[in-house]
Amino acid sequence: MAHAMPAPPLRERLAVIATLLGPLPHAKLDTEIGASGAKKSGVRMLKAECGAACGYTIRILPKWARVGLPLCPVNPAHGALVCDIPDDANDVAAVLQENAVAETPIVIPPNE
Ligand SMILES: [Zn+2]
């Protein structure tokens, strides 16, 4: 596959930006987990689908499914999408914890 490499000015600029960003605020990637997927995400997406025969389907977080399901975008007359929402409160706690991670704005200096 052909690909373009950054020219020296861009490489220098990217090096400055990488220095300003510092280390990646993330756990080390676990490359031992393969396609078999031994480890699953803490939050499970739910399948919501149109109750009519149009076949419209989306994936939605339990948190948002509890807030309310959207109307079918194919035809609003089909009504709200249908979804089996579990009563498990752990998924809500996981979403809240996920959203609690502080986001620090990154300021990139202007190009000189
Ligand atoms: Zn529909």
pTM of the model: 0.44
Instruction: From residue 11, give the alpha-carbon distance in Å to each of 2, 17, 33, 107, 108.
Output: 19, 10, 32, 18, 15
What is the whole-number distance in angstroms between the Cα of residue 73 and the centre of ligand 1?
7
Q: Which residue has the higher pLDDT, 11 or 104?
A: 11
The burial class, CB within 10 Å (0-12 / 13-18 / 19+), for 78 is middle
- Residue 97 is predicted with a pLDDT of 62
Q: Which residue has the higher pLDDT, 102 or 32?
A: 32
pLDDT at 106 over 70: no
What is the whole-number distance in angstroms between the Cα of residue 56 and the centre of ligand 1?
6
- Residue 23 is predicted with a pLDDT of 84
- Residue 50 is predicted with a pLDDT of 96
Tens-digit pLDDT profile for residues 13-71: 999 999 998 888 888 777 776 655 565 566 789 999 999 989 999 999 998 999 999 99
- Residue 37 is predicted with a pLDDT of 58
What is the whole-number distance in angstroms between the Cα of residue 53 and the centre of ligand 1?
7
